Amino acid sequence: MSQVETPKMVEALGRRHLMLFSGRANQPLAQEVASHLGIDCGSVDLRAFANGEIYARFQESVRGTDAFVIQTHAEPVNERIMEQLIMIDALKRASAKRISAVVPFYGYARQDRKGRSREPITARLVADLFQVAGANRIITMDLHSGQIQGFFDGPVDHLTALPPLADYIRSSYGGELVIVAPDAGRVKTAEKFAGVLHSSLAFLHKRRSRVAPNEVSVREVVGEVEGRHCVIVDDMIDTAGTVVQGAEVLLAKGAERVTAAATHGVFSGPAIDRLKNAPIDEVVITNTLPLPEERRLDKIVVLSVAAILADAIRAVFEDASVSELFNDQNQL
């Protein structure tokens, strides 16, 4: 009897189960990812105590599962990060077999080095927090700088929203395009866009204030833009100062029209007012961050990255190659 049943028992013990859980930052994106995977988001009780402390309890067994916790670090950023960490800690203590943190927008990514003395490297601190909490892997999208992957002592799948953004630009705009990097640090990303779209390349020279945060000055354009449709590409649009100044400089240099494309629409502070009055025809972003109704403009187009995240989650669960899945076009 035991000789017959042993193989079945081993098979049952080796069978793995994928579960997806969502924090409260961007639940519509999580539901869309779950739909692509053909599953439902797991049930978790998330709430805050009177003093603001976060409570999390999973409503079903997670023992032995491959658990994926999706949470984008939207405003309020600190609370969203802490909520995801608490969920991961709860999964670890409930004996989940493998825990992956799915972070469409990684908080504190811009603090990835010391620009001046006595500054923190907060992107590294966030990576350390994920590791201590119990995350075995991070899946994220369009980090501010690629070296952040090295801050986490484990696998990091760094995805990019280039394919849907490039597809939209290709299908929506005719004529000769110029892909414009907003600064020297974005030239590599702009080169990828230009290569996919078979377009020429230009970049803006800007100087960022070392004292006042979110203040930049765009000074010059390097590249031929006169009489052409310019597409400024970046990883994020925060206060929109860079992209608006860039558009004004490009038009002053003879550009025919300007479009902006970015993965993450942070849109903090004066961003929406600036974009509303900016000489930019269209702002193309993705849904890595939620966009409340009161911040929506007719010129803002939101594309979905749910299919990209779902395919990456499926590949991780099946121990398949993420880069081969996307033919090396969706990883940076």
Whether 66 maps to a domain, the answer reads yes
Domain harbouring 318, CATH code: 3.40.50.2020
Whether 330 maps to a domain, the answer reads no
pLDDT of residue 12: 47
Residue 240 Ramachandran class (φ > 0 left, ψ -120 to 50 alpha, else beta): left
Q: Do 273 and 313 reside in the same domain of the chain? A: no
Contact 258, 251 (CB under 8 A): yes
Q: Do 316 and 295 reside in the same domain of the chain? A: no
Whether 332 maps to a domain, the answer reads no
pLDDT of residue 175: 79
Domain hosting residue 237, numbered range: 162-303
Both structure tokens of 294: 């009161």
Q: Do 128 and 203 reside in the same domain of the chain? A: no
pLDDT of residue 119: 96
Contact 63, 101 (CB under 8 A): no
Whether 237 maps to a domain, the answer reads yes
pLDDT tens for the chain, residues 1 to 332: 445 454 544 444 556 799 999 999 999 999 999 999 999 999 999 999 999 999 999 999 999 999 999 999 999 999 999 999 999 999 999 999 999 999 999 999 999 999 899 999 999 999 999 999 999 999 999 999 999 999 999 999 999 999 999 999 999 997 789 999 998 888 999 999 999 999 999 999 866 655 556 565 656 898 999 999 999 999 999 999 999 999 999 999 999 999 999 999 999 999 999 999 999 999 999 999 999 999 999 999 999 999 999 999 999 999 998 887 666 555 55
Q: Do 8 and 148 reside in the same domain of the chain? A: yes
Residues with catalytic roles: 206
User: What residues contact residue 71 under an 8 Å CB cut-off, 6+ apart?
Assistant: 22, 23, 25, 26, 80, 81, 83, 84, 87, 101, 102, 103
Whether 331 maps to a domain, the answer reads no
Task: Please compute, for residue 215, the number of CA atoms within 13 A of its CA located in the half-sphere on the CB side.
Answer: 5
Whether 197 maps to a domain, the answer reads yes
Whether 74 maps to a domain, the answer reads yes
User: What residues contact residue 107 under an 8 Å CB cut-off, 6+ apart?
Assistant: 73, 77, 78, 80, 81, 126
Beta bridge partners of 138: 101, 156
Q: Do 120 and 179 reside in the same domain of the chain? A: no
Q: Distance between CA atoms of 106 and 280, rounded to whole angstroms?
A: 27
Contact 193, 181 (CB under 8 A): no
**Spatial CA neighbour of 30 closest among 100, 82, 103, 94:** 103
DSSP secondary structure string for all residues of 297-312: -TTEEEE--HHHHHHH
For the full predicted model, state whether its pTM sits above 0.85. Answer: yes
Contact 145, 122 (CB under 8 A): no
Centroid of chain to Cα 194: 21
pLDDT of residue 270: 96
Q: Do 92 and 224 reside in the same domain of the chain? A: no
Strand order in the sheet with 18-22: 18-22, 66-70, 98-103, 137-141, 156-159
- Kindly report whether the peptide bond that precedes residue 292 is cis, defined as omega within 30 degrees of 0: no
Q: Do 156 and 167 reside in the same domain of the chain? A: no
pLDDT of residue 1: 46
DSSP secondary structure string for all residues of 82-111: HHHHHHHHHHHHTT-SEEEEEESS-TTTT-
Whether 52 maps to a domain, the answer reads yes
Structure-token match 């006042």, residue found = 212
Contact 33, 69 (CB under 8 A): no
Q: Do 144 and 281 reside in the same domain of the chain? A: no
Contacts of range 52-60, beta carbons closer than 8 Å, 24 or more positions apart: 54/79, 54/82, 54/83, 54/86, 55/86, 56/83, 56/86, 56/87, 56/90, 57/90, 58/21, 58/90, 58/91, 58/94
Q: Distance between CA atoms of 272 and 269, rounded to whole angstroms?
A: 8
Q: Do 143 and 172 reside in the same domain of the chain? A: no
The two beta strands, 18-22 and 66-70, are parallel
Q: Do 89 and 106 reside in the same domain of the chain? A: yes
Q: Do 282 and 194 reside in the same domain of the chain? A: yes
Both structure tokens of 239: 């206060």
Beta bridge partners of 44: 58
Q: Do 239 and 317 reside in the same domain of the chain? A: no
Instruction: Name the domain count of the chain.
Output: 2
